[in-house]
């Protein structure tokens, strides 16, 4: 199986979650072994999507360097990871990815428009060789060896609308589109009011998030899935793990995970070569990955 990129350039415009201003986003093909590259066209700088370039994980995953950054990358990266795209350039004229509808489905549609093209180099995967776990109190994220990658996520909120939810997602492109991509980000009204008082989340609305007050969901249309909240957490995790620079061959398990714990997990995996092996898909796992991204 070969590495992939998109077949043609595509572009769109959307609102930034924090500044509330229009942002131009363009996706372009990239040659083999280049990975995912962000380019700030307004600053004339580029940087790769990789753990070493993560500069903040407080409310979203942010990559950059001393000259600039790109925030809220996880939904777009989730779609790229879900589609098995290895190499792509992401160009934008602002410091955040457009929020679109708060899920990854708009980015899936953009990737469908672009198409996927095979390159000459063999696809590489990062195979987990032994358990790696990061904990923070009772919260944890964990990677374990598996030839059939799954995301097993549990969340627990002291809120009548959410409560405790668990979802197990078997990774494949089709499953991603059908089960995960449409799950929207969510937030509490009290937190939104605090953020907006700090000139953040100015683009947040019922069009791009599930909003919750003390007792109920404020969106007139309700939820897209009964357990949309935990599904979105899986969407975020798939995007955060795209920073490993190649597909993960292993299971991911989380309880009350976060962008910060996901980032620390990628660092922990890469910190010891005994934790993983980089394998060309034509050497092993070829049938599994061809099926996953058919």
159 is in an annotated binding site: no
158 is in an annotated binding site: no
Instruction: Tokens for 128, please give them.
Output: 């987990």
Give the closest residue to 10 by CA, choosing from 99, 121, 108: 108
The CA-atom distances, in angstroms, between 219 and each of 174, 177, 196, 207, 260 are: 27, 22, 19, 8, 28
Instruction: Tokens for 53, please give them.
Output: 């370039």
Q: Which of 18, 159, 259, 263 is catalytic?
A: 259
Residue 18 annotated as catalytic: no
Quote the DSSP letter at residue 126.
E
Please state, in angstroms and rounded to a whole number, the distance separating the CA atoms of residues 59 and 61.
7
Query: Residue 36 forms beta bridges with which residues?
Result: 88
Q: Classify 154 as helix, strand or coil.
A: strand
Do 245 and 49 meet the contact criterion of CB atoms below 8 Å apart? yes
Strands 186-188 and 132-136, by their bridges, are: unpaired
DSSP class per residue in 188-215: EHHHHHHHHHTT-STT--TTSSEEE-SS
Instruction: Find the helix or strand (DSSP H, E) in which 28 lies.
Output: strand 22-29
232 is in an annotated binding site: yes
Q: H-type helices in 143-188, by residue range?
A: 173-175
Which residues are CB-neighbours of 220 under 8 A, at least 6 positions away?
206
Which residues are CB-neighbours of 123 under 8 A, at least 6 positions away?
1, 2, 3, 4, 86, 247, 280, 281, 282, 289
Q: Classify 87 as helix, strand or coil.
A: coil
Annotated binding site: 75, 232, 236
Task: Give the residue ranges of the annotated binding site for Zn(2+).
Answer: 75, 232, 236
Which residues are tagged catalytic? 259
């Amino acid at each position: 199986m070969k590495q992939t990129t998109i077949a043609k350039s595509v572009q769109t415009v959307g609102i930034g979650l924090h500044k509330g201003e229009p942002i131009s986003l363009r996706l372009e093909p990239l040659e083999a072994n280049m990975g995912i590259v962000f380019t700030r066209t307004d600053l004339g700088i580029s940087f790769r999507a990789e753990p070493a370039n993560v500069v903040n994980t407080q409310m979203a995953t942010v990559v950059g360097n001393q000259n600039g950054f790109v925030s809220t990358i996880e939904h777009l990266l989730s779609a790229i990871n879900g589609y098995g795209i290895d190499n792509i350039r992401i160009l934008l004229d602002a410091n955040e990815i457009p929020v679109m509808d708060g899920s990854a489905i708009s980015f899936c549609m953009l990737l469908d428009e672009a198409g996927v093209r095979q390159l000459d180099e063999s696809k590489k995967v990062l195979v987990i060789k032994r358990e790696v776990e990061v904990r923070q109190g009772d919260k944890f994220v964990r990677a374990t060896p598996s030839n059939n990658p799954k995301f097993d996520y549990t969340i627990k909120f002291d809120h009548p609308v959410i409560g405790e939810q668990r979802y197990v997602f078997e990774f494949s492109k089709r499953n991603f589109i059908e089960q995960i991509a449409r799950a929207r980000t969510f937030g509490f009204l009290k937190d939104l009011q605090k953020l907006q008082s700090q000139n953040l989340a100015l683009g947040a609305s019922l069009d791009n998030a599930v909003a919750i007050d003390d007792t109920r969901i404020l969106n007139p249309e309700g939820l897209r899935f009964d357990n949309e909240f935990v599904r979105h957490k899986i969407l975020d995790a798939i995007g955060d793990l795209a920073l490993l620079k190649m597909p993960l061959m292993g299971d991911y398990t989380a309880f009350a995970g976060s962008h910060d714990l996901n980032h620390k997990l990628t660092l922990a995996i890469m910190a010891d070569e005994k934790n993983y092996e980089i394998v060309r898909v034509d050497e092993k796992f070829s049938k599994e990955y061809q099926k996953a991204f058919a």
